[in-house]
Amino acid sequence: MSGILTYALHYQGEFNKNSLGAVSEGARLAKEIGGESAAVVVADGSDLTDELCASLGRYGATKVYRAKAPEGLAQPVVDVMAKVIADEGFSYALFGGGLLGFEIGAGLTARLGAGVTMEVTAVKARNGKLVAERPILQDSAIVDVDYVSEPGIIIGRLNAFDAVESGETAEVVDVDVELEAHSTRATMVRRGEQRGADVNIEDADLLVAGGRGLGNAEGFELCEELAEALGGVVAATRAVVDAGWYPYAAQIGQTGKTVAPKLYFAAGISGAIQHKVGMQSSENIVAINKDPNAPIFEFSDLGIVGDLNKILPKLIEAVKAKKG
């Protein structure tokens, strides 16, 4: 057995960012341990054109297996991947972060009787095999997980793998898969409905969070403007939610939500541990606080000691200008 098969999710003619990251990672790892790096895509309509599929080659896939099956559901993909892995003998199945990745990977675990590691933050090659790293205990430790048999299943954490362009085009191969009976008993009635009213901070890539340092509820207007300029969502600390400055749905911290966005912008937040545990795995943490001793500066990537009322308005303008 050899090679890595990566699932690539697509929607309305575009591949999911986390899938592109996973394909890139699969290509990188295949180079280290040998074997092919391939992708598998599933569609029920015709929007998965040859061209679109072949574009996965840019991210390092040499082959793309394409199957016709219902979209947006996990179990048909389990059938497809199980067949491809059985026919082609892949050693690893790889998924980028995201719901479907978890569902498909888990189903595949059962189907193949395989080992699976979830919420993987990094993968390394060791003696021709892959070892997955994942955090545990609220990110206070990292475990190295080994696969006792093949194939092994690796499911990444959201945004764990970066999309890297390397290769050229990939060969597209159509596969015929007969779906299992149980994979046909779920029907998508409506997919991808947008609901503006619900604030979902857990899935946001970019968060602008406000704390007591904002001074009053009006301070959140600045946060909202910055969030809009950056293309993100607003969050809040417990203290200000308690004070009624912002709704509970946006609360981050010990009893609120836990987030891990690509950018966490903290305005007027001290960084006390009750809040820290809710956002410490954010990829990039920027903090503005007028207190140079605020604990948040101990774990922020970029800390600005200053008055947010002076800095934020100018920052908003500058970001708007940059993004055009």
Partner 1 sequence: MKICVLVKEVPDAAVEKRIDASTKRLDRSGEKNLNPFDTHAIEAAMQIAEGGGADVEEIVAVTMGPQSAFRALHKAVSLGADRSIHLTDDALAGSDCCATGYALAKVLETEAPDLILLGQQSDDGECYTMGAIVADHLRMPSLTQVIKLEVADDRLRCERQAEYGYDTVEIELPAVISVGDAINEPRYPSLKAIMGAKKKQLDTKAIGDVGIEAGKVGVDGSRTAVLAINPPPAKAAGEIIEDENTSETVEKIVSWLEERKLLA
Partner 2 sequence: MSTAPVEFPPPVDSAKEFVGPPTDPVDERIEVGVVIVGGGPAGLSCAIRLSQLLEQDPGLAQSLGEVPIALVEKGRGPGSHLLSGGLMRPSAMHKLLPDLAEADWPTYGTVEKDRVYFMTKRRAVPLAPTPRPFRNEGNHMVAVSQLARFLSEKAEEVGVYILGETAATKLLVEDGQTMGVRTGDKGRDKEGGKLRNFEPGSDLVGKATVLAEGTQGHLAGAAIRHFGLGSEDPMQWELGVKEVWEVTRPLDRIIHTLGWPLRFGARYREFGGSWLYPMGEDKVSMGFVTGLDYRDATFSVHDTLQLFKTHPMIEGILDGGRRVAWGAKTIPSGGYWAMPERLWAPGLCIAGDSAGMVNVPQLKGIHYAMHAGMFAAEAIYEALKEDDTRDLSGYAERVLGSEIESDIRRSRNMRQPFSKGFLVGGAVANAMEITGGRFPGGRWKTHDDAAVDVFVGDRDKVYPKPDGKKTFDKLSSVFTTGNATRDDAPNHIRIQERVPYELALMWQNMCPAQVYEVPDEELEKQLEEDGDTKRLVDMKVTPSNCVLCGAITAKGGRLTPPEGGDGPNYQVT
Which 151-170 positions form the footprint of partner 1 (CB under 8 A)?
Answer: 152
Interface of this chain with partner 1, residues 231 to 250, rule: CB under 8 A: none
Residues 66-85 that bind partner 1 (CB under 8 A): 72-75, 78
For residue 272, the partner it binds in partner 2, partner 1, none, with Cβ less than 5 to 8 A by kind, is: partner 2
Q: Put residue 36 in one of left, alpha, beta given phi > 0 → left and psi -120 to 50 → alpha.
A: beta
Closest to partner 2 by CB, 98 vs 278, is 278
Q: How far apart are CA 112 and CA 108, in angstroms?
A: 6
For residue 241, the tally of other CB atoms under 10 A from its CB is: 20
Report which residue type is found at 30: A
324 binds, among partner 1, partner 2, none (CB under 5 to 8 A by kind): none
Shortest distance (Å) from residue 171 CB to partner 1: 27
Is 172 in a helix, a strand, or coil? strand
Of residues 250 through 279, those in contact with partner 2 by CB under 8 A are 251, 254-255, 272-274
Q: Tokens 């050899």 identify what position?
A: 2
Question: 156 in helix, strand or coil?
Answer: strand
Binding string, 263-302, against partner 1, x = CB under 8 A? x--------------------xxx-----x----x-xxxx
Q: Which stretch binds partner 1 (CB under 8 A): 138-146, 165-173, 212-220, 233-241?
A: 138-146
- From CA 226, how far away is CA 267, in angstroms rounded? 10
Provide the CA 272 distance to its chain's centre, in angstroms: 26
Would you tell me how many other CB atoms lie within 10 Å of the CB of residue 103? 17
List residues binding partner 2 (CB under 8 A): 238, 241-242, 248, 251, 254-255, 272-274, 293, 295
